[in-house]
């Protein structure tokens, strides 16, 4: 018989129909005459209740239907007398696909800590929490593609393996096929990468931006959405070694256009979650973060505060706070500073622009003051930096001068510089850390809990 997804069964008005649902048993309550199974198939946070007339079923088979078992149930969709659901299934047939030994199945009824669930990341999607998180994650990925598609952006696939290390966004993972115990060497003893797979040293990408710029110089508006890798040894609740990044790049956009897009885009994603993930967000709100839904609505209803780095430093200096990292013009802002601006001072998202050029990448457009560049960071409550971006330097001479100052070789970047030699135009872009967005929208506290299989220092299990 055709399978009905549990989300559809729960919403169905066709009482009296015979349907088949398939899923995993969450709980089982029973007495001599009747058993109640709560079955979930991941299509919704809600379980469907299956009512089993015990005398009508094989005793051994029923015994094997325990928490975690994978089953198929056929029966009559009926109004439910129990509270919490409108309909239930009166079972006529049960097929057990796979049992789950109660002695060893780790997900028994009691709540488990998020730390424990990380150690069984292969099973945690079967919990309410991770079912909700991964459905929201999916919805955000879909919303992002829809947003850019509707605006006429082209989805550009940038390489995962790259020979350029100029972006400087973070430490890189090397990619090599050379034997590490006995690599080929030159006469001076250094490793001869000419014999490596690509004939040169290569790494996993930290950002698709530079290649994204090349395509924006032809397609006008593109975005990337792919995995990025940073070998930074920062064990924080907001950093992964492997994370997904969305990087739009737009020809003919200045920094104001860039800010407008970033704000509109983030609001779109939050609104999409509120409109399409209501049940999951309500669950996460009630379980983990009582202010989650309020906070999401707040994002929609407020303009982001826009100010310069220099103005932000003045606010931080005037705050009278004792900082772990002292503040003065020129320092890179730390999470404590970003969160003060957002959560205590302005009490709304903040977009900071015009950062000192020394703390930002070489490709950012230089301001006339000679000290700052047209960088743009979007700061969110609880998260800190969620987006980093800039208007790009489109002037060939200025770009080369900056590259020389920071020691990037022109010959390594000839292809990038060509865009400034041939038909260079003003352009801008930014990078959104996908997991930081999912972190914000789900209200989870640790970035390891919003990606199915987190990669962090000393951890690549599963
Ligand atoms: P941070 O200062 O938080 O380390 P960053 O300045 O290194 O961030 P960018 O290089 O501007 O970040 O990257 C763009 C976006 O990618 C960031 O705004 C953030 O949302 C996300 N991001 C950066 N590093 C990580 C990471 N290690 N794990 C998850 N997301 C990240
Ligand atoms: Mn970083």
Name the CA radius of gyration of the chain, rounded.
Answer: 27
| pLDDT (tens digit per residue) in 55-106 | 999 999 999 999 999 999 999 999 998 778 899 999 999 999 999 999 999 9
Do the Cβ atoms of 248 and 429 come closer than 8 Å? yes
230/206 Cα distance (integer angstroms):
6
Among protein residues, the one with the nearest Cα to ligand 1's atom 27 is 239
Q: Is the CB of 431 under 6 A from ligand 1?
A: yes
Give the Å distance between the CA of 123 and the centre of ligand 2: 30
According to the model, what pLDDT value does residue 167 have? 65
Do the Cβ atoms of 234 and 173 come closer than 8 Å? no
- Work out the average pLDDT over 215-226: 98
| pLDDT (tens digit per residue) in 288-312 | 999 999 999 999 999 999 999 999 9
| pLDDT at residue 123 tops 80 | yes
Residue from 171, 352, 431, 433 whose mutation best tests the ligand 1 pocket (most atoms within 8 A of CB): 433
Half-sphere exposure of 50 (CA within 13 A, CB side): 30
Q: Is the CB of 388 under 6 A from ligand 1?
A: yes
| pLDDT (tens digit per residue) in 181-194 | 999 999 999 999 99
Q: What is the pTM of this model?
A: 0.96
Residue from 376, 431, 437, 438 whose mutation best tests the ligand 1 pocket (most atoms within 8 A of CB): 431
Q: Is the CB of 450 under 6 A from ligand 1?
A: no
| pLDDT at residue 109 tops 80 | no
Q: Relative to the alpha carbon of 435, which ligand is closest?
A: 1
Burial class (CB in 10 A: 0-12, 13-18, 19+), 3: middle
């Amino acid at each position: 018989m055709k399978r009905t997804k549990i989300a559809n069964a729960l919403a169905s008005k066709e009482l009296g129909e015979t349907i088949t649902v398939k899923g995993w048993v969450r709980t089982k309550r029973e007495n001599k005459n009747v058993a109640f199974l709560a079955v979930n198939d991941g299509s919704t946070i809600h379980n469907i209740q299956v009512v089993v007339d015990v005398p009508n079923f094989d005793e051994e088979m029923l015994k094997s239907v325990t928490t975690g078992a994978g089953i198929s149930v056929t029966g009559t969709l009926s109004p439910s007398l129990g509270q919490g659901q409108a309909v239930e299934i009166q079972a006529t047939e049960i097929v057990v696909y796979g049992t789950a030994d109660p002695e060893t199945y780790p997900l028994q009824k009691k709540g488990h800590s998020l730390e424990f669930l990380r150690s069984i990341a292969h099973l945690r999607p079967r919990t309410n929490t991770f079912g909700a998180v991964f459905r929201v994650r999916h919805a955000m990925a879909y919303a992002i593609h829809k947003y850019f598609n509707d605006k006429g952006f082209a989805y550009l696939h940038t390489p995962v393996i790259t020979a350029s290390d100029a972006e400087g966004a973070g430490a890189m993972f090397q990619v090599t096929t050379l034997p590490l115990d006995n690599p080929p060497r030159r006469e001076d003893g250094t490793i001869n990468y000419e014999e490596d797979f690509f004939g040169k040293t290569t790494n996993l990408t930290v950002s698709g931006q530079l290649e994204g710029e090349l395509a924006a110089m032809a397609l006008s508006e593109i975005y990337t959405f792919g995995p990025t890798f940073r070998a930074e040894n920062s064990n924080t609740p907001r950093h992964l070694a492997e994370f997904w990044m969305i990087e739009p790049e737009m020809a003919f956009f200045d920094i104001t256009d860039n800010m407008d897009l970033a704000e509109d885009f983030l609001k779109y994603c939050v609104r999409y979650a509120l409109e399409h993930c209501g049940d999951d967000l309500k669950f996460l709100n009630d379980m983990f973060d009582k202010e989650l839904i309020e906070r999401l609505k707040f994002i929609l209803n407020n303009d982001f505060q826009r100010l310069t780095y220099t103005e932000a430093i003045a606010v931080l200096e005037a705050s009278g706070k004792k900082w772990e990292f002292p503040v003065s013009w020129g320092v890179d802002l730390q999470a404590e500073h970003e969160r003060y601006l957002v959560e205590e001072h302005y009490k709304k998202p903040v977009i900071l622009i015009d950062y000192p050029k020394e703390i930002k990448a070489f490709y950012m457009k230089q301001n006339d003051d000679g000290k700052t560049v047209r960088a743009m960071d979007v700061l969110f409550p609880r998260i800190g930096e969620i987006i980093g971006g800039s208007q790009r330097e489109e002037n060939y001479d200025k770009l080369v001068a900056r590259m020389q100052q920071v020691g990037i070789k022109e010959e390594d970047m000839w292809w990038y510089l060509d865009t400034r030699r041939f038909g260079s135009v003003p352009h801008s872009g930014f990078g959104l850390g996908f997991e930081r967005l999912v972190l914000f929208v789900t209200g989870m506290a640790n970035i390891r809990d919003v990606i199915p299989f987190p990669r962090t220092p000393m951890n690549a299990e599963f």
